Amino acid sequence: MTGSWCVAVLSAVLSASPSETQTGPIPALRDRLAALSPDDPMGYFLLAEEVMHEMQGDRGLQLARTLFVLASVTDRRSSVPQGLTAGAALALASISSSDDERQWLLALIEPGSPRRPARVDDALQEEASLNAAEALSFARAGDAVALHERLRSDDVYRTLRRLGDEGASAIDLLERASDRAPCAACRNRRIIKSQIADTSDDVYTLCPICLGNPGPAYALRQYRETLAVEALLLGAQGESWSAHDWLSSGRAALEPDLDVLPEHFGVDPDRVRWNDDPISEDPLDGVWIR
Amino acid sequence: MSAPRPIRTFFSEVPDGADPFELLGLSAQPCDDDAVRAALDQRLARLAQHPQAHSPDADEVRLVLHVACAQLLDPLLRREILADRAARAQRTDASPVVRLPTASSIELAALHAIASSGGWNETARRRVAALLHAEQIPLATLPSIISAVGARVARERHDAASGARYGAIPALDARAARSLQQRHRARLFTKWVLLGAFVLSIGSIALLSMMLIDSYQRSVAYEQEGERRAEAEQVESGTAAMPQEESALTPVAEKASPAGTASKQAGERQRARSADGLIAPAPTELAATPIEIDPNSRAWLDAATVLLEKEPFASQTDEARLQRVGRLARLNQAAAYVWDAAADPRDLLISLDPAPSRIQAAASPVDDPATFTAPGVPPDGTLALELLEVRRGKQLDSQAFRGRRYGHLKLGPVDCDVAADSALFGSPHELRLIAARIVLDQSSNPAMIHALLEALPRAPKSDSTSELVMRVTEQSVPSIDDPSWRATCRRMLLERLAMLLGEVWSSELDALAGWIAQSYDAQARGYKPGMSSGSTVSTPAGTLPEAPAARLFDRWMREIGGLRSAPGDLEKITRIRQKREARLALARGPMQRFAAQQVSCAEALALLVAIETPSLAADVERVTSEALAIRARAMRVIEQMEIAEHTISRLWRIRLSREPERREQS
């Protein structure tokens, strides 16, 4: 039963990724949301699939995630589970923007042989990861010209978004670094040239503004964060605990436990009924209630 | 609340401190072997009809009954037990005196158990423990009883060679030696020599002798005390006997002097150290504690109470959390030793002192990563200016550069930045070589590795770049034709930088890792006498606890495999193994991998305790599921470690106390 669901959902997911789907409203979405009941977990699942394929944007994705999680929760609580959890986890993995999260979701349903999901664009992804790591390096060095060059492609930001919170803070850091002007005195050359009076000889001195280091001054915490993001991008781990601490910022691995699923996606497993806002025109205006 | 005595659960008529006759329901009269065997069969049949006939307690009682039967089948011992019983009854009539264990009968029964178990092994340990339990003798006396057994065997061996019986007991005074001679002479040739030879033949003497060395004084004091009491009773006809209440509070070893006094002092010293964070079940306390839980376990439970209930969980730094993980791991090591029946209480002296704290004093300002991106601070920049002048066309004074050495000082971030730049793409070529040498001289300087990392994206894809990265990181670099060359070089430099920064700024993590590794290794290996000497020696910093934790997991799984499993256990075992694999696949880096192994150890231990004692399974399940649910939501790996280690300690508390955990304790 579970296996057939996995196959069905996987094929549905593979046949149409969100970026390829048509856009457009879902008929009677408001009514269908209101009709959802924990007695019918399949209702959550089917609507989640439809939302995932038909609705674009963050709100649509968020609703799809919530519905998949609720499908899993209600099915597991059901007296006759239909094995929807595996399908829900696969679907959630297909719309996940994080490699770690995707691997974790697969481990939830296949704990015996967790594996990194195979990707056809692994080589491209590695190149994009390296570009993102080097972009961070340019940001630290205050080399805005080289940083702009790296940021021309969307790859860097897209790659960083896959890292979740760490990626988001790195994007913020890159945006600020790309707006930063070079050192006013030395133009990031570290030294300045001047002529000795009454002679034609040039003399070099360290830049009086940046004192030879034109990069932005990062606090220790910021510096560690950039190293941790680079480590994530490049797969650096460190051999010792101390080295690993510098490269991971003490982050915990996700636990392969289905009970964590709702909390991970910010879903309250007890709020399973949709209460829409009758005044709003937007069918997504509403809250989940007990 | 202590657990009910198993024997009373099944045979309520059996009194406390029952002798083998009472255990088998025989009247205290001479009887033959058939009567003894018939009594045993009758008891076993009655036990089989009990609702708890398949419980571990029932197994324990069966063992006790078999041991009692074995004792009574020995005619010599049977007579001795009858004599002891008569003497006891006489003493009870005359005056209330403390009942000392009849050492010889216990020792004989212990030897029977050891011999019938094939030597001193896990089975023998359990049987002897059950025997002591049935006799209501504190488990802490196990070491001295085993030592006494070993001592006799060893003495016999020695005497057989030298022809001078008892000549090898230097600490014994003449009177005690005479008493011992009188007491044992009659049966030494017939029983101990034969059985001793048997024990020798199965290779147990080595272990027994090791135990003998440590507890020799105590066993001698024990013997002396028994003789003195017998003599005093004879002389004073009970008028000088100590009141029972007072005696019960006075440790046996304390009463014996001079060894008892020394033991008492040692006990006081150990108690004093206990306040400083040492688990110290003092021998004097062990011998006196009138509880069913053995005193080592009780001492552990007291120590555990402090760590599990008095220390706060919340609002702690990572460092404080990790220190606690280390202390809990030590506590769990002690629990494992207690469980493995550590023979010598000194082996349970396991330091709970925190590992070395953060070593910031060793860090110099140039090691501070915050300076890597900050404006330079003179004299930092002096070398940078010289190198940049040459790159701008100034004549290179190669002699002057070559005459300098930079290995003895740490260059600042500005000098490192320019040196790394110059080494990778400086011009002229000779400047590149000079700069490369400076880089190599500074390969232990985090600022230099940072500088290389920042310069690498602009570095040419060349063999010279490869060589520089390879020599700095001391790792092999893929060929420059390899598509992963850039990424690999960058990753290697990043790991090198993290290693150097970690050594300076987070060295306490490595010290704690070694500390925890040691505890897990000790638990995985199991207790062996004398192990404590190694347990206080710190392992080298950087030793990872991941592998020992994996071995400990295997140990628990082996022990689970050795138990009679119930329906559903196999499924649980499979699930634990699968989750472990999943966790390891998701883990990145040594800390996360250890956390994965550690929580799997907790799950395996929980299953082991639940299978061992089905009556505690629900409580074990509650403790484990509640704690691990919290762990699953933890965002930081050190928090995960703390929760898992804390859970393991709680499981040990249940296992050793054989009681459900009180709700408020969690």
Q: Give contacts of A265 with chain B, Cβ < 8 Å.
A: none
pLDDT computed for residue B380 by the predictor? 87
- Write out chain B residues lying below 8 Å of A113, CB-based: 581
Angstrom distance (rounded) from CA B432 to CA B288: 78
pLDDT at B235: 42
Q: What is the residue type of B125?
A: R
> No. of H helices and E strands in chain A?
13, 4
Residues 415-444 of B with CB under 8 A from A: 417-418
Q: Are A138 and A208 in contact (CB under 8 A)?
A: no
Mean pLDDT confidence for B395-418: 84
pLDDT, mean over chain A: 83
Residue B90: the pLDDT is 62
Q: What is the pLDDT of residues B271-282, one digit of tens each?
A: 333 333 334 333
Cβ distance of B509 and A240 shorter than 8 Å = yes
Question: How many degrees, rounded to 5, is the angle at CA B44 between CA B40 and CA B49?
Answer: 150
Cβ contacts of B190 within 8 Å, gap of 6 or more: B76
Mean local confidence (pLDDT), B195-223: 34
Q: Distance (Å, rounded) from C-alpha B117 to C-alpha B304?
A: 33
Question: Is A243 or B77 the better-scoring residue by pLDDT?
Answer: A243
Q: Which one is predicted more confidently, A201 or B470? A: B470
- Output the pLDDT for position B440: 94
> Residue B29's pLDDT band (boundaries 50, 70, 90)?
confident
Q: Do A245 and B591 touch (CB under 8 A)?
A: yes
DSSP code of residue B448: H
Q: Give the tokens for residue B514.
A: 């070694």
CB contact under 8 A, A241 and B544: yes
* Interface check B635 vs A, CB under 8 A: yes
A55-85 tens-digit pLDDT: 878 888 899 999 999 999 999 999 988 989 9
pLDDT (0 to 100) of residue B131: 67
Task: For residues B356-363, give the mean pLDDT.
Answer: 45
CB contact under 8 A, B583 and A115: no
Q: Is the pLDDT of residue B286 over 60?
A: no
In the prediction, which pLDDT does A165 show? Answer: 80
pLDDT per position as a tens digit, B489-505 = 999 999 999 999 988 88
The whole-number average pLDDT for the span B268-297 is 43
B32 has a pLDDT exceeding 60? yes
Cβ distance B373 to A215 less than 8 Å, yes or no, reads yes
Interface test with B, best of A242, A258, A260 (most B CBs within 10 A): A242
User: What distance in Å separates residue A11's CA from the closest CA in chain B?
Assistant: 24
CB within 8 Å: A260 and B375: no
Which residues of chain A lie closer than 8 angstroms to B377, CB-CB? 211
Nearest to B152 by CA among B84, B200, B221: B200
Task: Give the pLDDT of residue B424.
Answer: 93
CB B350 within 8 A of CB B536: yes
- Sequence-ordered alpha helix ranges (H) in B238-381: 244-249, 252-255, 259-275, 283-288, 295-305, 318-339
pLDDT at B245: 29
Residue found by looking up tokens 């636990």 in the block: A255
**What stretch of H or E contains B66?**
helix B56-73
**Of A101, A92, A20, whose CA–CA distance to A62 is shortest?**
A92
Per the DSSP assignment, residues forming a β-bridge with A286 are A276
Crossing angle of helices B637-657 and B617-632, rounded to 10°: 170
Report residue B284 CA to chain centroid gap. Answer: 22
Please state, in angstroms and rounded to a whole number, the distance separating the CA atoms of residues B128 and B139: 9
- B542 inside 8 A of chain A by CB: yes
Q: Please indicate if any CB of chain A lies within 8 Å of the CB of B636.
A: yes
CA distance B165 to B185: 9
B208 close to A (CB below 8 A)? no
Yes or no, beta carbons of A246 and B381 under 8 Å apart: no
pLDDT of residue B595: 97
Instruction: Print the SS3 string covering B249-272.
Output: HCCHHHHCCCHHHHHHHHHHHHHH
Q: Could you tell me if B645 and B627 are in contact, meaning their C-beta atoms sit under 8 angstroms apart? A: no
Residues in CB range of A27: below 8 A, 6 or more apart: none
* Short-list B602, B603, B620, B607, CA closest to B657: B620
The answer to whether B517 faces chain A, any CB pair under 8 Å, is no
pLDDT tier, B270 (very low <50, low <70, confident <90, very high otherwise): very low
Neighbours of A253 (CB within 10 A): 23
Q: Which residues in chain B are closer than 8 Å to A212, comparing Cβ atoms? A: 375-376, 380-381, 384-385, 414, 417-418
Tens digit of pLDDT for each residue in A106-145? Answer: 888 876 554 554 444 566 778 889 999 999 999 999 998 9
Band (B176; pLDDT cuts 50, 70, 90): very low
Q: If you ran DSSP here, which 8-state letter would residue B369 be given?
A: G
Q: Give the A:B interface size as CB pairs under 8 Å.
A: 242
- Total Cβ atoms within 10 A of residue B226: 21
Query: What is the reported pLDDT for B112?
Result: 63
The total of other beta-carbon atoms located within 10 Å of residue A108's CB is 26
C-alpha to C-alpha distance for B118 and B129, rounded to whole angstroms: 16
The string of DSSP codes covering B600-641 is: HHHHHHHHHHHHH-GGGHHHHHHHHHHHHHHHHT-SBHHHHH
Q: How far apart are CA B506 and CA B410, in angstroms?
A: 19
Mean pLDDT of B599-622: 94
Say if residue B174's pLDDT is above 50.
Answer: no
Neighbours of B255 (CB within 10 A): 22
B502·A259 Cβ contact <8 A: no
Greater pLDDT, A97 or A247 = A247
**Stretch 9-28 of chain B: residues touching chain A, C-beta under 8 Å:** none
Q: At residue B544, does pLDDT exceed 60? A: yes
- pLDDT top residue among B353 and B97: B353
Mean of all residue pLDDT scores within chain B? 71
Q: What are phi and psi of B358, to 5 degrees?
A: -50, 130
Q: Check pLDDT > 80 for residue A262.
A: yes
Q: Is the pLDDT of residue A10 over 70?
A: no
| Model pLDDT, residue B15 | 79
Residue A240 and residue B499: Cβ atoms within 8 Å?
yes
Q: For residue A202, which phi and psi values (nearest 5 degrees)?
A: -90, 145
Best mutation target among B319, B321, B373 (most A Cβ atoms within 10 Å) is: B373
Interface test with B, best of A159, A226, A240, A254 (most B CBs within 10 A): A240
B498, A260: Cβ pair inside 8 Å? no
pLDDT for res A35: 93
d(CA A242, CA B446): 14
Say yes or no for a CB contact (<8 Å) between B579 and A133.
Answer: no
A190 forms beta bridges with none
> How many Å lie between the alpha carbon of A110 and the closest alpha carbon of chain B?
8
Q: What is the mean pLDDT of residues B455-478?
A: 94
Q: At residue B49, what are phi and psi to the nearest 5 degrees? A: -90, -5
pLDDT at B358 over 60: no
Nearest-angstrom CA–CA distance, B21 and B39: 9
What is the gyration radius of the CA atoms in chain A, in angstroms? 25
More confident residue, A211 or B211: A211
Strand partners, B200: none
pLDDT at B179: 37
Q: Which of B260-269, B413-422, B635-644 has the lowest mean pLDDT?
A: B260-269
Residue A69 pLDDT: 96
Length of chain B equals: 666
Which residues does residue A193 pair with via DSSP β-bridges, in sequence order? A204
